[in-house]
Amino acid sequence: MPTIKDVASRAGVAISTVSAVINRSAPVSEEVIQRVEEAIAAIGYLPHGAAKALRSGDSRLIGLILPDITNPFFSTVARVIETVCMRAGYMTFVYNTDEDIDHEMRILKMMRAQRVAGLVLISTRSDAEHGRRLMSEINVPTVLFSSSVPATPYDAVTLDEAMASRIAIEHLAALGHRRIGVLTGRPNVSTHEERLEACVETMRAHGIEPSGDLIVAANFDQAQAFGATKALLALPEPPSAIFAFSNLMMIGMMRAVVASGLSCPRDISLVGIGDFEWPEIMNPQMTVVSMPAAEMAERSIEILLAEIASKRAPTGRRTMFEPRLIIRESTAAPRLSLPA
Amino acid sequence: MPTIKDVASRAGVAISTVSAVINRSAPVSEEVIQRVEEAIAAIGYLPHGAAKALRSGDSRLIGLILPDITNPFFSTVARVIETVCMRAGYMTFVYNTDEDIDHEMRILKMMRAQRVAGLVLISTRSDAEHGRRLMSEINVPTVLFSSSVPATPYDAVTLDEAMASRIAIEHLAALGHRRIGVLTGRPNVSTHEERLEACVETMRAHGIEPSGDLIVAANFDQAQAFGATKALLALPEPPSAIFAFSNLMMIGMMRAVVASGLSCPRDISLVGIGDFEWPEIMNPQMTVVSMPAAEMAERSIEILLAEIASKRAPTGRRTMFEPRLIIRESTAAPRLSLPA
DNA sequence: TGTATTACTCGAAACGTTTCGTGCAAGCGC
DNA sequence: GCGCTTGCACGAAACGTTTCGAGTAATACA
């Protein structure tokens, strides 16, 4: 591959002059610019990214760490971030953690080895201990996405998680449901904790005493949600509605309802957090709490790029977005309401 | 950030010795290895990727270029490739072309600037002219995925496209369909060309003369498939079945059927190429020609890594995988068959 | 007309590694 | 006891850039 040296000698100028015209970092005469650009085109020169990064100390690389790109929510996040980064002259590394904390740390290490200029991190845990580990492993501007980690100075972009639970439970309560099942995520994850707390609060506010039997952790996982839903449905007194904390768990619920020979919403109402791109092809069309994925992604990368550009310390601010309840077909009044 | 120099001075050895223990590239006494490893751990040293790449001439980077990571087919491809690469000590860049040929070339350029060691490319076009452009732009081992480009020396991993069309059309013909619509992709794409040719052949083999009215290009696109399907349905003599060349177009078809107030498979049968992860939550469950996405991805990256490792020229071989017809609910016998 | 300024170009150092030739001591065969 | 190999450690060069101080010619100012 040709180097800047080849360009220089072909154009009959010094290496530093070529650099100046490429980066427009110093005044160069029109005539020399011409010659250099011709030389570049003629030999097909492309600056060597690693050499540039090494010398300038700026990798122009950004890392995105998320649970699973296969999840449509995360893939749209990735697309948005990639697009914005490219426009700003950054390339992106996208890596999957599979919600495995050790793997997350391993990926963080790889990113650090690449000297990424910044990180958007959808972390798998959000307790203080993990926060400390993160702090020791991360030495670049970082924004947390869809989770907030205490004891940590990073900016965060999240949903208003409490509101998400509240509008879902209120919808169900308004329909007349009293026995409401909840498929939650996993302890030490802020989305889990905050949504769960708001669920309980909202139920109590509506005179429903949350029952431990009906609130089950399903790890944000489709298969676990399937199993948990079947178990819930097999209870002597099954819930008349179930609320799930993720889009994948919603799918698990629906599969379980089908597999149990029941029908939604006739036998059971279903709501979840996270929308689907083509609701009309689903059976039934799901009532969901939808989150503005693209807007959130855009905001997070904007915050990150601003922090990188300004070289300012993070503010530790949390930017929240509002979820929206979309009522479709999967929720209805309970079939027969038992006397309270 | 600490450098190898800091490690060296803390361990009381030369820089080259540190390098030798890190890379196990030369014999080092057990005692010195100890000291060096302690020093590394103590100061939290991580080799500088760009410096390594620059000096060694090996970026340990692999590029994956695909149409749209948001498409579940491609996101599973990306996951597989990322996983295999990481295991082999490579990092991956994943970029979306949006099926825009100029954007594809731009991304190729970025990849070249990063001096990626290899490329798996799901190209947007596959005519000879594009092949020539590719050849001039690509100077690293490359495997083409899901497309084959003539006049090009690259290895390719694809579906047996002819078989995909054949089994779909044969299924429809066996059910008794005579007026079969086809939603194709876009000219100059090998998946389009090969599938279309096989469609026509198979129809003729079954005594069905393909009609130009019923074969419409929808660009592999969901929205265009929606429109095309509505148009097909509004024909004076609408088809009794439609076959689409992609999973997204299948969704477009189903939406169009719903929007037209019709019912599948009662009023029309629908088949497509590409499966969905949770067919049972769809209405109706789709009959599809499924392709082994993960296996294909795995094979392609294996071929690429082998080519990189062996430093051998590509063989130009095409590895084909067999599609499989999965019959579910969206196909049935035509409602009333007109006399031929 | 002399001097300060500007516009341009250049050469060399530096970024953090790997690689290679060299040196040195110990062990070996004869 | 001598020369050879072997095992280990070292120093310096090189990878392809950017950056910076310095040099030169032309222009502007007084």
What secondary structure does DSSP assign to A298-332, as a single string? HHHHHHHHHHHHHTPPP---EEEE--EEE--SS--
Footprint of strand D on the protein (CB under 7 A): A 1, 3-5, 15-16, 19-20, 22-23, 25, 45-48, 51-52, 54-56; B 12-17, 26-29, 31-32, 51, 54-55, 57
- Residue A143 confidence class, pLDDT cut points 50, 70, 90: very high
Do B212 and B200 touch, CB atoms closer than 8 A?
no
Show the tokens assigned to A56: 């300038």
pLDDT digits (tens, 9 = 90+) for B96-110: 999 999 999 999 999
- Residue B212 confidence class, pLDDT cut points 50, 70, 90: very high
**Residue B147 three-state SS:** coil
Say whether B93 and A95 touch across the interface (CB within 8 A): no
Residue B161 touches partner A, C-beta closer than 8 Å: no
Instruction: Answer yes or no: is pLDDT of A336 > 80.
Output: no
Question: What's the pLDDT score for residue A335?
Answer: 82
Chain B, residues 72-111, CB within 8 A of chain A, namely 72, 75-76, 78-79, 82, 86, 91-96, 109-110
CATH number, domain B161-291, options 3.30.2130.10, 3.40.50.720, 3.40.50.2300, 3.30.465.10: 3.40.50.2300
Alpha-carbon torsion angle A285, A291, A293, A298, nearest 10: 150
Chain D bases near protein CB atoms (7 A cut-off): 7-21
Question: What's the pLDDT score for residue B313?
Answer: 87
Asked which of A23-27, A117-121, B336-340 is least confident by mean pLDDT, the reply is B336-340
CATH number, domain B59-159+293-322, options 3.40.50.2300, 1.20.1600.10, 3.30.750.24, 1.10.8.420: 3.40.50.2300
Instruction: Answer yes or no: is pLDDT of B337 > 70.
Output: no
Q: What are phi and psi of A75, to 5 degrees?
A: -70, -30
Fold match, A59-159+293-321 / A161-290: yes
Beta-sheet pairing, B324-326 with B287-290: antiparallel
Which chain A residue lies closest to B114 (C-alpha atoms)? A49
Cβ neighbors of A123 (< 8 A, separation 6 or more) are: A65, A104, A130, A134, A144, A147, A149
Question: What's the pLDDT score for residue A151?
Answer: 84
Kindly list the residues from chain A whose CB atom is less than 8 angstroms away from the CB atom of residue B68. 79
Residue A49 touches partner B, C-beta closer than 8 Å: yes
pLDDT digits (tens, 9 = 90+) for A177-219: 999 999 999 999 999 999 999 999 999 999 999 999 999 999 9
Say whether A254 and B281 touch across the interface (CB within 8 A): yes
Chain C bases near protein CB atoms (7 A cut-off): 7-21
Question: What's the pLDDT score for residue A313?
Answer: 87
A15 sits within 7 Å of strand C by its CB: yes
Closest CA relative to residue A328, chosen from A267, A271, A258, A260: A271
Give the span between the Cα atoms of B122 and A91, in whole angstroms: 19
B29 sits within 7 Å of strand C by its CB: no
Give the domain ranges of chain A: 4-47, 59-159+293-321, 161-290
CATH number, span A59-159+293-321: 3.40.50.2300
Q: What's the order of all strands across the beta sheet hosting A318-321?
A: A91-96, A61-66, A118-121, A142-145, A155-159, A318-321
pLDDT digits (tens, 9 = 90+) for A57-111: 999 999 999 999 999 999 999 999 999 999 999 999 999 999 999 999 999 999 9
Q: Which helix (H) or strand (E) holds B120?
A: strand B118-121
Show the tokens assigned to B135: 């050849």
Tell me what the mean pLDDT of segment B70-97 comes to.
97
Query: By percentage, how much of chain A surpasses pLDDT 90?
Result: 94
Instruction: Answer yes or no: is pLDDT of A136 > 70.
Output: yes
Do A115 and B48 touch, CB atoms closer than 8 A?
yes
Closest CA relative to residue B244, chosen from B206, B297, B195: B195
Give the span between the Cα atoms of B258 and B95, in whole angstroms: 34
Residue A55 touches partner B, C-beta closer than 8 Å: no
Amino acid at A31: E
A28 sits within 7 Å of strand C by its CB: yes
Show the tokens assigned to B22: 């890190």
- Residue of B69, B110, B116, B138 for testing the chain A interface, max A β-carbons within 10 Å: B69
| Alpha-carbon distance values, B325 to A231, A305, B210 (Å) | 34, 47, 22
Instruction: Answer yes or no: is pLDDT of B312 > 90.
Output: no
Cα distance from A312 to chain B (closest Cα, Å)? Answer: 18
Question: What's the pLDDT score for residue B235?
Answer: 97
CATH number, span A161-290: 3.40.50.2300
- Residue B340 confidence class, pLDDT cut points 50, 70, 90: very low
Q: Which residues of B101-118 are buried (b: 16+ CB within 10 A; e: fewer)?
A: eebbeebbebbbbbbbbb
Q: What are phi and psi of A215, to 5 degrees?
A: -105, 110
C1' (D9) to CA (B63) span, angstroms: 39
- Residue A340 confidence class, pLDDT cut points 50, 70, 90: very low
Tell me which DSSP letter residue B282 carries.
B
Q: Given the structure tokens 């498939």, which residue do they identify?
A: B225
pLDDT digits (tens, 9 = 90+) for B107-147: 999 999 999 999 999 999 999 999 999 999 999 999 999 99
The number of helices, as runs of H, and strands, as runs of E, in chain A is 12, 12
Show the tokens assigned to A302: 């904007």
- Residue B29 confidence class, pLDDT cut points 50, 70, 90: very high
B110 sits within 7 Å of strand C by its CB: no
C1' (D26) to CA (A23) span, angstroms: 25
Tell me what the mean pLDDT of segment B302-309 comes to.
96
Mean pLDDT of chain B, nearest integer: 96
**Residue B201 three-state SS:** helix
Show the tokens assigned to B45: 């040293």
Instruction: Answer yes or no: is pLDDT of B338 > 90.
Output: no
Cα distance from A93 to chain B (closest Cα, Å)? Answer: 6
Closest CA relative to residue A183, chosen from A236, A124, A226: A226
Mean pLDDT of chain A, nearest integer: 96
Tell me which DSSP letter residue A89 carries.
T
Show the tokens assigned to A85: 């980064």
In the 37-56 segment of chain A, residues within 7 Å (Cβ) of strand C are: 51, 54-55
Which chain B residue lies closest to A58 (C-alpha atoms)? B50
B56 sits within 7 Å of strand C by its CB: yes
Query: By percentage, how much of chain B surpasses pLDDT 70?
Result: 99
Tell me what the mean pLDDT of segment B186-190 comes to.
95
Say whether A50 and B54 touch across the interface (CB within 8 A): yes
Instruction: Answer yes or no: is pLDDT of A173 > 70.
Output: yes
Cα distance from B337 to chain A (closest Cα, Å)? Answer: 27
Nearest CB to A282 within list B1, B72, B281 = B281
Instruction: Answer yes or no: is pLDDT of B339 > 80.
Output: no
